[in-house]
Amino acid sequence: MDELAKLPGIGPKTAQRLTFYLLRVPVEEALPLAHAIVEVKETMRFCARCFNLTEQELCAVCRDPRRDQQVICVVEEPSDILSIERTHEYRGLYHVLGGALSPLDGIGPEKIHLQELFERVEAEPVKEIIVATNPNLMGEATALYIAEQLTKQVASGRLRVTRPAAGLPMGADLEYADEVTLGRALSGRRDL
Amino acid sequence: MILAHIRLADVRCHCALETNLGPRINVVVGGNGAGKSSVLEAVCLDLQGNSPRTHRVTDCISVGKDHLRVEILLVPESGTERNSEEACAGAADAAGQRQTTAAVSFMRTGERRHTADGRVLKKADRWAKLAPVHTFFPDDLRLIKGGPNRRRQFLDDLVSARNSEYALSVGRYAKALAHRNALLQRGDIGSQHDPWEWILAEEGTAIVETRAGELAVFAPLYTCIHGRLTSGVSEGIKLVYRTNVGGLNVEEYRNILADQRAGDCRRTFTHSGPHRDDIRFMLEGIDLREAGSQGEQRTALLGLILSAAESVAASTSIRPILLLDDVMSELDYARRRALIALLAEGGQSIVTTTDLHHFEEEEIQDITVIRLESPSSSGTEVRPDDEMTEAT
């Protein structure tokens, strides 16, 4: 029960309910779960190139020759890749940082995969970096840091560093939008 | 909204107290220890969710009791031209206008429960917009005399009342500042500072600009109201905004931060920015904080609170309720007259005093007087009728 309660989003009550559920179900239903957990921990590892989750040396995106090799989308966590892949809008590569800069928590550039990103920019034929870190303070600081570190490449004209637009959610009413989102959406407006 | 009726149970020395309130000036009269301030405190507990006198709300619970309760009947301002008793009794049919009972219970265990007409509220900030409360407690003099923190907080509250984006800016600024200071404390002065300084510069310039803009509107209002309080004896008080990053654009601001990294690292904190802002109260060339007399400082604070209420009223068209604890005894005859005249023009107010003689005969005509008898410290049950009498 204590082990279940350690999981994110699971409180003591849910942990208790899950425990009693597992006690009740037949062995053949409970064992696959146990095996799945063992399997994930034994076979899953990080892609050597982009730090996405994979069972092999390189992840599925990096292995796919049809992906656009000139664009890298930088995200904080592997789960962010799933969100972007669901849009079917993006055909380039990824780079997972494994977090965001946060001096207060002692997380500097050396603690996340930033150096590896800069090495990829040098080694690969990259033309654009899309910095898709979270739109919170730490994510923004990380994005600014990346942009600052790549100013030389940008100035030489061989690289673009971009950030996804911040704006209004589709199908939403203006009157319910918060001031900051609406303000950003207005300042980032485009021609029709 | 105004407070039409208030009921306290087990708040400090009040086992049970119930009284109607008038729509204009209310005066709570009683001897020392009669619980005058506790009545004001109870209003804050209910409508603000905290006490201006203590951080530990459990201190407000009567000795030997396990919880306190405050109930306030709020009625719309316009439906209250009649005297308070009628307003209260007839408020239910007040031409379809909505009245609400705002209640709060605080347990000694630390739990609290805010309700509106019996429905539990998730947040206590429900009343801050509907029935904002501005207070004057003698301790508030720290705003004038103490460190700049309280003055910045006052300024922030003033701006946030009409600019909701400002509070977000201040929050982002504070977080970015904490991150930069963490770098400084680690002795790091490298390129890691860049993103944080960028955010500090962007939010910092916005904050300074907003504060300066707000003060440009507020300072003349303050000078005017302070002038009325002092019957224009002095040449007029001036509010002066002090900042070490005034008039900079984002780029200049960033350069200053970058230049100061080494120095900041030795200090282990960030020297430049609106987190070091201050306001000075200048009266005839004298800084009141350093050289003002007690009376001058008090009048300056009282003027500040009245002006802030006026400023909120002007921008939101809701007149805040003023709770003034023991102001009369500190003011001379002329200033008392000026204060009562100012209060009479404003919305609802509750003033505590030990002595009704501070008020003139003709002023009392328009005032609701609430008398508190000597403290019921014996803990015996006192019927509300015995404890207070009302004269309107």
**Per-residue model confidence (pLDDT) at position B358:** 87
Domain membership flag for residue A74 = yes
Q: How far apart are CA B83 and CA B70, in angstroms?
A: 23
Residue B381 has pLDDT above 60, yes or no: no
Distance between B195 CA and the closest CA of chain A, angstroms: 5
Which of A74, A111, A131, A137 has the most B C-beta neighbours within 10 Å, making it the best mutation to test the interface with B?
A137
Mark out chain A residues that contact chain B at CB-CB < 8 A: 101-104, 106, 108-109, 137, 140-145, 148-149, 179-180, 183
Residue A134 lies in a domain: yes
Identify the residue whose tokens are 């989308």: A73
Q: What is the pLDDT of residue B79?
A: 45
Contact between residue B334 and residue B260 where contact means Cβ atoms under 8 Å apart: no
Evaluate if residue B90 carries a pLDDT over 70.
no
Q: Give strand ranges (E) for chain B.
A: 2-11, 14-20, 25-29, 67-75, 100-107, 112-116, 119-121, 133-136, 237-242, 278-283, 286-287, 321-324, 349-353, 368-372, 388-391
Token pair in block for residue A121: 């920019």
Mean pLDDT lowest for which of A75-89, A164-178, B105-119, B299-313?
A164-178
Residue A107 lies in a domain: yes
Mean pLDDT of chain B: 86
Residues of chain B found within 8 Å of residue A180, distances taken between Cβ atoms: 165, 168
Supply the Cα-derived Rg of chain B in whole angstroms: 23
B261 touches chain A (CB under 8 A): no
Give the mean pLDDT of chain A. 90
Distance from CA of B255 to the nearest CA of A (A): 14
Cβ contacts of B188 on chain A, cutoff 8 Å: 103, 108
State the angle between helix axes of B294-316 and B193-229 in degrees (0 to 180), rounded to the nearest 10.
110
* Cβ–Cβ gap A145/B194 under 8 Å: yes
Q: DSSP letter string over B293-330? A: -HHHHHHHHHHHHHHHHHHHHHHHS-PPEEEE-S-GGG
How many folded domains does chain A comprise? Answer: 1
Burial class (CB in 10 A: 0-12, 13-18, 19+), A41: exposed
- For the stretch A93-123, pLDDT in tens is 999 999 999 999 999 999 999 999 999 999 9
Give me the pLDDT at residue B47, please: 92
For range A17-27, the mean pLDDT: 91
Q: What is the pLDDT of residue B28?
A: 94
In a domain, A36, yes or no: no
The CATH code of the domain that includes A177 is 3.40.1360.10
Which among A59, A119, A122, A118 is positioned nearest to A93, based on CA atoms? A59
Residue B83: per-residue pLDDT:
45
Residue A31 lies in a domain: no
Interface confidence, given as ipTM, is 0.79
| pLDDT at residue A180, rounded to an integer | 75
Best of B166, B168, B175 to substitute, by most chain A Cβ atoms within 10 angstroms, is B175
> Which range is least confidently modeled, A8-12, B129-133, B377-381?
B377-381
Q: Is residue A17 part of a domain?
A: no
Q: Is residue A104 part of a domain?
A: yes
Q: What contacts B282, CB < 8 A, 6 or more positions away?
A: B237, B238, B239, B240, B288
Q: What is the mean pLDDT of residues A81-92?
A: 93
Can you tell me the distance from the alpha carbon of B392 to that of B389, in angstroms, rounded to the nearest whole number?
10
Q: Is residue A80, in this structure, part of any structural domain at all?
A: yes
The domain in which residue A189 lies consists of: 69-192
